[in-house]
């Protein structure tokens, strides 16, 4: 066996599917095996591998063992002369493995090999080659000197920017996204260090290979696409802590005590600086729009109040009490903002209908509270309606202005159109075109591009004319059908200077997804016919709201429900359990003794989808659980609660 390929997967089903298609092609002229270790994904990855890639050896973990732990599970099972650690969010060329093996065979001093990596837009990824993070190198990286002087031998060592990216080099550190290891060398160095859960293990292993007397080679003749961190957002606070803590583990393990202490000081300083910036950035991004809305609402309603006072309410003189501006109006604004948020008015992309719904619900809630207030605080119902009108108008107007400003984060749902070119056979182009429509992509123009040199009537042109097609028809996005076009041709097109500022995506064969990634910030653009997963933030929020509202209604009607539910006392216990977040009225059916099915984490439920039938077998209950997880509807929860009202006192 020439090569054993290990892929550790965590919740990137569509990227994994695409990766395995490319790996299968690349293994046609190489004797190899593929092992996928799944770290307890809940997105259907395990089922997809079993269904679409039966030749792959699958290890489904019931817990997340991390990158090192999962690889260490598979390495003892490998029979190849070389072991390749490969990320699931990658695509390899058809000759990537054969070229890499030939290079390793020709260089007996090579302990490990990395290749030239490009991102989903065709740009070179500098982490393809790196140096050891010594205190000085880390200092330059942390404080931005390496970014300011990438080609400097002194300041640009982190990514070795002074080395030609198109030439082979001996380097100190390779990326774990594609790391080919000589098995005999790995037997000497030992497995990956499981002290590193997600980051740093590639640096540690690269260093141990060097210490064992071998070299790490950067080999640009073999290329891959790396979609860059689909599982983890690089700007998140969690990433900052995990990544830099991994650097401290490395320093304590390999540096002298003095250097390790200095390194740890620099890293801890970086952690708090970067984490602080990340938290502040998140707060600013999250609160900027609601604060802007609150200011617009306040000053608008304040102006309306003055106009109403002078011309209608107090024509003979006078004004509303100061309490209206100081206390009541801010409360109104908070209620409107809260109901707009809960209605999904701040979700992206923006839906104006959700904003209007939130304003209407908020107005109704304010009117109910107004009726309950003491007479001294009931200033004017007219001001509530006028305030609601201004709130709705101002929010709709501001969202429209933000949309027309061209800011992508504030696009109105369904309003964004793209000019797209699809490259592949007629059958694949038509399939992708239908998939785009079903996944909600609004294409104002779609051009079909032939993968060969023969241009049929259905095609706008051939692949060799792609640059001209993009220029003439103002194409913004190109989708390659990998069934008809090799990875090598796709990569050549992506890095071609004739296709600047074009977004690229790839449609794997027989897949319901089109994948791509344009930058480290987008972390993987994905067109997919999605199910309405219960794990989506909006669904979790809606589920919690329904739980709370239903609980309040139940508690209010408890004198009557005591005669309906089977166990009234337990019903009260369950109600308070739901109220305080310990339980949910609807959850997954528990099946003691059965092998757990990968499902999103939910609070324990009083009721479950299996309550809709009688004498259901285990397989049916498993299927109902999966359907509930993958296609959640708030109405389904409410329906289960109403139908199972007598079971609300069930012991959980």
The answer to whether residue 111 scores a pLDDT higher than 90 is: yes
Looking up tokens 């089977």 gives 566
Pairing state of beta strands 110-118 and 604-607? unpaired
Q: How confident is the model at residue 409 (pLDDT cuts 50, 70, 90)?
A: low
> 417-528: what fold?
Rossmann fold (3.40.50)
Query: Across residues 379-385, what is the average pLDDT?
Result: 89
The larger pLDDT score, comparing residue 24 to residue 502, is at: 24
Q: Do residues 58 and 38 lie in contact, with contact meaning Cβ atoms separated by under 8 Å? A: yes
Which residues, 6+ apart, have CB-to-CB distance to 47 below 8 Å?
Answer: none
Q: How confident is the model at residue 152 (pLDDT cuts 50, 70, 90)?
A: confident
The answer to whether residue 521 scores a pLDDT higher than 50 is: no
- CA atoms of 263 and 268, how far apart (whole Å): 9
Instruction: Report the pLDDT value the prediction gives residue 406, as an integer from 0 to 100.
Output: 64
Q: How confident is the model at residue 595 (pLDDT cuts 50, 70, 90)?
A: very low
Instruction: Report the pLDDT value the prediction gives residue 602, as an integer from 0 to 100.
Output: 84
The answer to whether residue 523 scores a pLDDT higher than 60 is: no
Instruction: Report the pLDDT value the prediction gives residue 222, as an integer from 0 to 100.
Output: 96
Domain segments of the chain as ranges: 3-129+165-230, 233-411, 417-528, 537-647
Looking up tokens 């994904």 gives 41
pLDDT in tens, 214-243: 999 999 999 999 986 544 444 455 555 666
- CA atoms of 412 and 445, how far apart (whole Å): 19
Q: What is the CATH number of domain 3-129+165-230?
A: 3.90.550.10
The answer to whether residue 394 scores a pLDDT higher than 70 is: yes
Query: Across residues 497-502, what is the average pLDDT?
Result: 72
pLDDT in tens, 534-587: 767 778 888 888 899 889 888 888 888 888 898 999 999 999 999 998 999 999
Q: How confident is the model at residue 277 (pLDDT cuts 50, 70, 90)?
A: confident
Q: CA nearest 524: which of 226, 320, 260, 206? A: 226
Which sign, positive or negative, has the C-alpha torsion 396, 401, 404, 406? negative
The answer to whether residue 295 scores a pLDDT higher than 90 is: yes
The gap between the terminal CA atoms of the chain, to the nearest Å, is 53
The answer to whether residue 499 scores a pLDDT higher than 80 is: no
The answer to whether residue 594 scores a pLDDT higher than 80 is: no
CB-based burial label for 620 (10 Å; 0-12, 13-18, 19+) = middle
Instruction: Report the pLDDT value the prediction gives residue 315, as an integer from 0 to 100.
Output: 75
The answer to whether residue 294 scores a pLDDT higher than 70 is: yes
Residues in the chain: 652
Instruction: Report the pLDDT value the prediction gives residue 232, as an integer from 0 to 100.
Output: 46
The answer to whether residue 520 scores a pLDDT higher than 50 is: no
422 bridge partner residues: 448, 479
Tokens of 83: 């072991």
Among 53-67, 324-338, 359-373, 519-533, the range scoring the smallest mean pLDDT is: 519-533
Q: Do residues 196 and 170 lie in contact, with contact meaning Cβ atoms separated by under 8 Å? A: no
The larger pLDDT score, comparing residue 67 to residue 112, is at: 112
Instruction: Report the pLDDT value the prediction gives residue 621, as an integer from 0 to 100.
Output: 79
Number of H helices, E strands in the chain: 22, 18
Looking up tokens 């309003």 gives 415
- CA atoms of 409 and 296, how far apart (whole Å): 20
């Amino acid at each position: 066996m020439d090569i054993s390929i290990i892929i550790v997967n965590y919740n990137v089903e569509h990227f994994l599917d695409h990766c395995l298609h490319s790996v299968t092609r690349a293994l046609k002229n190489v004797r190899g095996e593929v092992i996928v270790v799944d770290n307890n994904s809940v997105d259907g990855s395990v089922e997809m591998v079993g269904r679409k890639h039966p030749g792959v050896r699958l290890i489904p973990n019931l817990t997340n063992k991390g990158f090192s732990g999962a690889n260490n599970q598979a390495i003892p099972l490998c029979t190849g002369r070389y072991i390749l650690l490969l990320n699931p969010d990658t695509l390899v060329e058809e000759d990537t493995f054969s070229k890499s093996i030939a290079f390793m065979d020709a260089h007996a001093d090579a302990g490990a090999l990395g290749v030239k990596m490009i991102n989903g837009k065709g740009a070179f990824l500098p982490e393809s080659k790196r140096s050891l993070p010594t205190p000085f190198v880390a200092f330059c990286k942390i404080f931005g000197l390496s970014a300011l002087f990438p080609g400097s031998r002194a300041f640009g060592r982190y990514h070795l920017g002074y080395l030609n990216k198109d030439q082979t080099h001996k380097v100190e550190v390779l990326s774990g996204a594609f790391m080919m290891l000589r098995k005999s060398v790995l037997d000497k160095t030992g497995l990956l260090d499981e002290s590193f859960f997600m980051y740093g293990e590639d640096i540690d292993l690269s260093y141990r290979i060097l210490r064992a007397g071998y070299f790490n080679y950067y080999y640009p003749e073999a290329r891959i696409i790396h979609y860059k961190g689909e599982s983890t957002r690089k700007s998140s606070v969690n990433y900052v802590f995990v990544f830099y803590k991994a650097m401290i583990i490395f320093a304590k393990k390999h540096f002298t005590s003095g250097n390790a202490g200095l390194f740890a000081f620099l890293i801890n300083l970086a952690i708090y600086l970067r984490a602080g910036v990340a938290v502040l950035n998140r707060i600013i991004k999250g609160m900027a729009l609601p604060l802007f809305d609150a200011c617009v609402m306040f000053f608008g309603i304040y102006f309306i109040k003055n106009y109403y006072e002078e011309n209608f309410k107090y024509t003979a003189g006078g004004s509303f009490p100061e309490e209206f501006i100081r206390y009541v109006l801010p409360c109104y604004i908070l209620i409107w903002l809260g109901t707009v948020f809960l209605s999904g008015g701040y979700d992206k992309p923006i839906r104006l209908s959700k904003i209007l719904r939130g304003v209407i619900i908020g107005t109704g809630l304010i009117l109910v509270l107004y009726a309950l207030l003491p007479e001294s605080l009931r200033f004017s119902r007219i001001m509530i309606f006028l305030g609601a009108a201004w709130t709705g108008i101002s929010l709709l107007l501001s969202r429209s202005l933000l949309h027309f400003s061209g800011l992508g984060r504030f696009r109105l749902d369904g309003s964004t159109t793209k000019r797209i070119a699809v490259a592949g056979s007629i059958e694949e182009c038509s399939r992708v075109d239908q998939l785009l429509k079903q996944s909600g992509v609004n294409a104002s123009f779609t051009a079909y591009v032939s993968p060969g040199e023969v241009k049929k009537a259905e095609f706008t042109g051939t692949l060799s004319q792609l640059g001209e097609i993009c220029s003439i028809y103002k194409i913004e996005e190109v989708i390659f059908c990998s069934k008809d076009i090799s990875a090598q041709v796709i990569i050549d097109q992506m890095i071609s200077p004739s296709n600047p500022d074009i977004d690229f995506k790839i449609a794997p064969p027989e897949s319901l997804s089109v994948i791509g990634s344009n930058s480290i910030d987008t972390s993987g653009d994905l067109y997919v016919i999605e199910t309405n997963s219960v794990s989506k933030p909006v669904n979790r929020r809606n589920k919690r709201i329904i739980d709370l509202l239903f609980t309040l209604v139940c508690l209010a009607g408890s004198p009557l429900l005591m005669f309906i539910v089977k166990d009234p006392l337990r019903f009260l216990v369950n109600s308070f359990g739901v109220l305080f977040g310990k339980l949910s009225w609807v959850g997954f059916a528990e099946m003691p003794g059965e092998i757990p099915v990968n499902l999103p984490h939910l609070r324990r439920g009083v009721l479950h989808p299996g309550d809709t039938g009688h004498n259901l077998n285990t397989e049916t209950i498993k299927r109902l659980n999966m359907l509930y997880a993958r296609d959640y509807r708030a109405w389904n929860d409410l329906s289960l609660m109403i139908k199972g009202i007598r079971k609300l006192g069930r012991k959980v």
